[in-house]
């Protein structure tokens, strides 16, 4: 089926090619990405009337409280609407949602969504330190005191989830390894990707365990990076340089601990399902209508859970789906993350924005060397975290 469209479309995108930029600031990387996106759209900076960005501190830079005002000052733009909703790496999906809502409500017409971080240059061990060590703060009474005292890291939280998902649904480490291998195959086709050397299932399984059962290659890489998007009202499209990529549907959902009574493993999938159902219903399409997917692969297990939550396969079938090669550009039924994803291309702390850049390139037919032939409709799913089970998902249907 053909998706119904909102009045909002992506008119410009830019992904900074750098993966390591010790001589630049996160601010400058973001500005260069904004310049790239406005040039890609064929618009002018003074047309920007809404601005969305994410704090990067402490995991990828210095941009902290009041991030959107601080960054607007640096960029010298004058948006009448700002937002910096924080859902970790999924934040950028939430910004797209808020941009579409604001455009539909008539509040603004040209929304800039931007991000830059120098996580690698700063040497931040995002996934392998305690949160109090990452932030330099003490362990807050609620709720960190009940969790961080055990020496938890981001990777350990995901290890707990993965272990339970394996227990409940029969997922295996070998199946997860196929996600990492496929992302690396795709990265080999992307000249900007950070890691392009071929990887085997055996390589993944024999790599060091970071937090069991997650191996090194189950975890996203750490890079510097930046990107920007322009989401515009359809009234502006005649001025734009390139054909639009329409926002057809979007959804979002959060999960948490349910007062200590929740099933963290099942709820991780059901949260994605709620977000995806909203997006599918709004666009009037289903999983079978999606030509290519961008799935936030912070860890290999995220891909499996999102596939099951979105309905690309049944509950408990995600492991077999990825091991069967369904994510591959070469012959898969759902070519996923053709750019190599966070597992191989880039991951500067919060990766959600890059999903939209690659989806736009794919739907425009600009993804040289890794183009999904004839891609007309794409899906983006992202899950971001506050810590432990406090997380949020965003889902989007894009169409040309």
Partner 1 sequence: MLTADPTYWPQPEVSGETRPFWEACGRGEFLLQRCDGCGKFQYPYRGFCCHCWAGQPRDVPSTGRGTVWSYSVVRRNRSRDTAPSRTSSWSSSWRRASGSSPT
Q: Least distance (Å) from partner 1 to the CB of residue 233?
A: 41
Cβ of residue 260: shortest distance to partner 1, in angstroms? 4
CA torsion, points 127, 133, 139, 145, in degrees to nearest 10? Answer: 40
Task: Report the distance separating Cα 388 and Cα 371, nearest Å.
Answer: 36
Q: Which is nearer to partner 1, 132 or 239 (CB)?
A: 132
Contact between 380 and 283 under an 8 Å Cβ cutoff? The reply is no
- If the CB atoms of residues 40 and 144 are measured against partner 1, the closer one turns out to be 144
> Please, what is the minimum distance in Å from the beta carbon of residue 257 to partner 1?
8
Distance CA 360, CA 192 (A): 17
Token output for 288: 């079978």
Between strands 245-255 and 292-295, the pairing is unpaired
The answer to whether 369 and 339 are in contact (CB under 8 A) is: no
Cα 375 to its chain centre, rounded Å, is: 20
Angle (CA) 337-340-344 rounded to 5° is 140
- Between 133 and 203, name the residue whose CB sits nearer to partner 1: 133
Least spacing, CB of residue 215 vs partner 1, in Å: 10
| Residues with Cβ within 8 Å of residue 142, at least 6 apart in sequence | none
Per CB under 8 A, residues contacting partner 1 are: 125, 128-130, 132-133, 138-146, 148-153, 155-157, 159-161, 163-164, 167, 208-214, 259-261, 264-265
Q: Which of 307, 316, 315, 304 is nearest to 287 (CA)?
A: 307
Q: Six-digit token pair at 326?
A: 């369904």
Q: For partner 1, give the closer residue by CB, 208 or 373.
A: 208
Which residues on neighbouring strands pair with residue 119, listed in sequence order? none
Shortest distance in whole angstroms from residue 156 CB to partner 1:
5
As a whole number of Å, the end-to-end CA separation of the chain is 13
Q: For the CB of residue 148, give the shortest distance to partner 1 in the complex, in Å.
A: 6
- Quote the least distance from Cβ 134 to partner 1, whole Å: 8
| Nearest CB to partner 1, comparing residues 249 and 318 | 318
* CB of 136 or CB of 238, closer to partner 1: 136
User: What are the DSSP calls for 239-302, one per residue?
Assistant: G-SS--EEEEEEEEEEE--GGGT--HHHHHHHHHHHHHHHHHHHHT--GGG-SEEEE--SBHHH
Buried b (16+ CB within 10 A) or exposed e, 331-356: ebebbbbbbbbbbbbbbbbbbbbbbb
Q: Which is nearer to partner 1, 189 or 211 (CB)?
A: 211
The smaller minimum CB distance to partner 1, of residues 247 and 304, is found at 304
Distance CA 314, CA 224 (A): 36
Task: Check if the beta carbon of residue 365 is closer than 8 Å to that of residue 233.
Answer: no
Q: Closest approach of Cβ 268 to partner 1, in Å? A: 12
Least Å distance, CB 222 to partner 1, is: 12
55 vs 389, which CB is nearer to partner 1? 389
């Amino acid at each position: 089926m053909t998706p119904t469209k909102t009045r909002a479309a992506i008119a410009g995108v830019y992904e900074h090619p750098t993966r390591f930029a010790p001589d630049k600031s996160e601010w400058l990387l973001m500005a260069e990405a904004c310049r790239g996106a406005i040039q890609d759209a064929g618009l002018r900076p003074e047309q920007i009337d809404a601005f969305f960005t994410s704090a990067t501190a402490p995991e990828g830079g210095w941009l902290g409280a009041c991030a959107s005002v601080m960054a607007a000052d640096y960029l010298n733009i004058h948006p009448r609407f700002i937002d910096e909703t924080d859902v970790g790496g999924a934040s950028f999906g939430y910004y797209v949602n808020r941009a579409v809502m604001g455009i539909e409500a008539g509040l603004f017409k040209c929304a800039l969504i931007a991000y830059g971080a120098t996580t690698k240059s700063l040497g931040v061990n995002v996934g392998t330190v305690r949160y109090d060590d990452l932030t330099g703060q003490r362990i807050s009474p609620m709720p960190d005191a009940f969790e961080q005292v055990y020496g938890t890291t981001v990777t350990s939280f995901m290890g707990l989830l993965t272990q339970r998902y394996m227990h409940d649904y029969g997922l295996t480490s070998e199946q997860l390894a196929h996600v990492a291998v496929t992302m690396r195959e795709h990265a080999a086709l992307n000249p900007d990707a950070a890691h392009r050397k071929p990887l085997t299932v055996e390589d993944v399984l024999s790599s060091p365990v970071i937090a069991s059962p997650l191996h090194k290659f189950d975890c996203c890489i750490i890079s510097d990076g930046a990107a920007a998007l322009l989401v515009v009202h359809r009234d502006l499209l005649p001025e734009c340089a390139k054909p639009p990529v329409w926002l057809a549907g979007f959804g979002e959902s959060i999960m948490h601990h349910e007062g200590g009574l929740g099933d963290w493993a099942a709820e991780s999938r059901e949260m994605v399902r709620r977000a995806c159902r909203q997006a599918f219903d709004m666009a009037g399409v289903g999983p079978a209508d999606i030509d290519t997917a961008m799935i936030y692969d912070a860890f290999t297990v995220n891909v499996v859970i999102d596939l099951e939550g979105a309905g690309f396969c049944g509950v408990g079938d995600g492991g077999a789906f990825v091991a069967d090669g369904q994510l591959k550009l070469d012959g898969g039924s759902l070519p996923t993350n053709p750019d190599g994803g966070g597992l191989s291309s880039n991951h500067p702390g919060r990766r959600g924005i890059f999903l939209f850049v690659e989806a736009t390139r794919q739907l425009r037919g600009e993804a040289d060397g890794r183009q999904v032939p004839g891609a007309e409709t794409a899906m983006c799913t992202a899950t971001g975290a506050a810590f432990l089970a406090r997380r949020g998902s965003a889902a989007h249907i894009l169409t040309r």
